[in-house]
Amino acid sequence: MTSASVKAKPAPPPQEKHSSRISPELFSLAGLMVATVVTFSSTFHFGWVYDDPPQIPQNPNLRWDRFGFLFTHQLWASTAAAQSRFYRPLLTVWFLSNKTIFGLNPHGFHVTTVLAHVVATGLAFFVARLLLKDAGAALFAAAIFGLHPLQVESVSWISAVNDPLAAVFCFASFLAYRKAAVVQLRSSFWWTLAGAFFLLALLTKEVSIVLVGIVLIDLLTRPKNTGEPVRRSPLLPLFCAYGLVALFWLILRSLVLGGAAVVSAQVPWATIVLSAPKIFLFDLYRVIVPAGLSPQYDFSLIDSPFTFQFVWITLVLIAFVLLTVWAAKRNYLVWVASAWLVLPIVPTLNLRWMNQDDFIHDRYTYISMLGVALLAGSAYAWIRSKWPQQQLIRPLAVALVFALAFASAIQSQYWASDVSLFSRAVSRAPDNEWAQLNYGSALTARGKYADAAPHFVRSYELQPGWRAADFAGFAYQHLGDLSQAEHWYTTALQQDASVGVVYFGLAQIRLQQHQPLQAIPYLKKALELEPTADGFHSELGNALEQTSQFADAVEEYKTELQLHPNQTGAQKALDRLRGAGTKQDR
């Protein structure tokens, strides 16, 4: 070798240059996270909507001295009529922590909800960076995940923060598993961390169980020639980190909920199987066309395979599967991306776990959007490698991201209040009974009973049930139309005779008609069904007082105050009766 050749040999680049290549990635990621905050910043001024009031401001168990209670009871334990379906103690701990910091100011809760989504977006970048091995593609993927309008429901609604929180834990677990699978030293630490994050995800939202399948697909489909020093036998630590954790969670959940999940919707299994492809394609359609989003949708199930709709949906799904397999044979990352896309949707296809006729929600696709993002990032990287001289790719990607952010900022505005939210739902899904019922409830909360009543009636026409009939009775009662109110309360009892609040409504009608003796049996029946309901004992005391049964009335007022110390009406009535008794003694 000549001296000239030695001099011509280039020196290795200094370490500082490697660091400078990383810095722009983190800078770009920081910019994306700021853009995500800006996109959803208007939600900081929103209030409580939908399920927020019963879960947070009206939840008597949201106290630190009830911390153990939160881990040993179901999510809706504070609501007597709620079904035992969800075990999400970390979600209630999150609400409790926010309440400790912000009190009952919803604006602070909205800020932390957006921040949870921002953290999930940041972790989505690191997952994409790990899989795609391209910083630009990873940034594009993270932008798709963070700014897509399908994420609006989970970011704009406080009660849906469990989706970003579960995603944070799932993404962190996946990253820890990948680290554990390649390192030789301290691998046990990373496996433990993966299992710990997985458990936190399960305690936040049940859909996190699908992470087991995602990890297995990643492990089984990853080629051996990736250059990563994969450990030869990761199955045992994998079983410990995911299998044993999942088993522990299932046992714990079963003990708390008292067995298997409650069946909420009575949908035949044949209908569930036939409708699953339609639900999946409807989710994909909203990914591609994220316009006209709503908290509820008009969605008809498929009852027979011998329909044109079922045939063409099946053909489209087959084409999608074949395209996925074809692409996966050329790039194994398609398998992993498809796992992130499909598996989180699978639990939502069991319609028996959902409310009747309330099967579709945007939040069900939150974690699945990582799969969409990975596919988009992979396509971006492929196009850039295929046409490296093409200068329009990056501007087009930026334009798409800006369009998604603009659409998200616009559609998040519907979540500002119950009235705006469910007005949107009725406009998009006029034949959905839940949309009609929720809009009527929002109007009732504003005292707009005349506007609310027709929506309750319409909800009942779409799907007869006690709830819509009871709400209609309540609206007509406040309008002073007692005959219509009694008709709807009676209709509610025909649907379900075990609901105490309906008897309570009939009792109030009798009191308004100055018939306290007829009100008393209704009130006693209501208390038999719901002995601790707010106001029931007080109203019975009122009826007893009007019929001169003063001693019994005093006992009812006392019971009301024991159950609900803040019942000022009961306290005033009790003071009045005690004062009257003192005067009679004199």
Predicted pLDDT at 403: 96
Predicted pLDDT at 6: 41
Question: Does a structural domain hold residue 526?
Answer: yes
d(CA 34, CA 31): 5
Q: Please indicate, yes or no, whether residues 77 and 171 belong to a single structural domain of this protein.
A: yes
Q: Please indicate, yes or no, whether residues 339 and 195 belong to a single structural domain of this protein.
A: yes
Question: Does a structural domain hold residue 567?
Answer: yes
Instruction: List alpha helices for 159-186, DSSP H.
Output: 162-182
Residue 211 carries which side chain, given as an amino acid letter? L
- Residue ending a domain, among 415, 441, 468, is 415
Q: Please indicate, yes or no, whether residues 129 and 222 belong to a single structural domain of this protein.
A: yes
Question: Does a structural domain hold residue 571?
Answer: yes
Q: Please indicate, yes or no, whether residues 411 and 431 belong to a single structural domain of this protein.
A: no
d(CA 459, CA 438): 9
Q: What pTM, to 2 d.p., does this model score?
A: 0.88
Contact partners, residue 300, CB within 8 Å, separation at least 6? none
d(CA 140, CA 307): 40
d(CA 424, CA 336): 36
Q: What is the token pair recorded at 586?
A: 């004199």
DSSP type of residue 45: G
Angstrom CA distances, 324 to 129, 282, 337, stand at 21, 18, 10
Predicted pLDDT at 390: 74
Q: Please indicate, yes or no, whether residues 437 and 406 belong to a single structural domain of this protein.
A: no
Question: Does a structural domain hold residue 51?
Answer: yes
d(CA 162, CA 239): 26
d(CA 358, CA 435): 9
Q: Please indicate, yes or no, whether residues 252 and 398 belong to a single structural domain of this protein.
A: yes
Q: Name 148's bridge partners.
A: none
Question: Does a structural domain hold residue 239?
Answer: yes
Q: Please indicate, yes or no, whether residues 430 and 351 belong to a single structural domain of this protein.
A: no
Q: Name 355's bridge partners.
A: 358
d(CA 84, CA 573): 37
**For the domain that residue 530 is a member of, what is the CATH number?**
1.25.40.10
Q: Name 358's bridge partners.
A: 355
Q: Which residues of 541-553 are buried (b: 16+ CB within 10 A; e: fewer)?
A: bbbbbbeebbebb
Nearest to 373 by CA among 412, 327, 338, 328: 338
Regions in the chain scoring below 50 on pLDDT: 1-21, 582-586
Q: Which residues of 287-308 are buried (b: 16+ CB within 10 A; e: fewer)?
A: beebeebbbbbebeebeeeeee
Q: What is the token pair recorded at 486?
A: 């009694």
Q: Half-sphere exposure of residue 175, counting CA atoms within 13 Å on the CB side? A: 17
Q: Please indicate, yes or no, whether residues 400 and 450 belong to a single structural domain of this protein.
A: no
Question: Does a structural domain hold residue 15?
Answer: no
| DSSP-derived 3-state class of residue 358 | strand
Question: Does a structural domain hold residue 370?
Answer: yes
- Residue ending a domain, among 374, 397, 415, is 415
| DSSP-derived 3-state class of residue 355 | strand
Q: Which residues of 192-224 are buried (b: 16+ CB within 10 A; e: fewer)?
A: bbbbbbbbbbbbbbbbbbbbbebbebbbeebee
Taking only Cα atoms into account, the Rg of the chain, rounded to an integer number of angstroms, comes to: 29
How many domains would you assign to the chain? 2
d(CA 158, CA 168): 16
Q: Please indicate, yes or no, whether residues 324 and 453 belong to a single structural domain of this protein.
A: no
Predicted pLDDT at 80: 61
Q: Please indicate, yes or no, whether residues 411 and 435 belong to a single structural domain of this protein.
A: no
Phi and psi at 358, nearest 5°, equal -135, 60
Q: Please indicate, yes or no, whether residues 386 and 471 belong to a single structural domain of this protein.
A: no
Question: Does a structural domain hold residue 7?
Answer: no
Q: Is 12 left (phi over 0), alpha (psi -120 to 50) or beta?
A: beta
Residue 273 carries which side chain, given as an amino acid letter? V
- Residue ending a domain, among 415, 449, 468, is 415
DSSP-assigned states of every residue in 371-419: HHHHHHHHHHHHHHHHSTT-SSHHHHHHHHHHHHHHHHHHHGGGGGSHH
Q: Please indicate, yes or no, whether residues 254 and 391 belong to a single structural domain of this protein.
A: yes
Q: Which domain holds residue 361?
A: 21-415
Predicted pLDDT at 77: 84
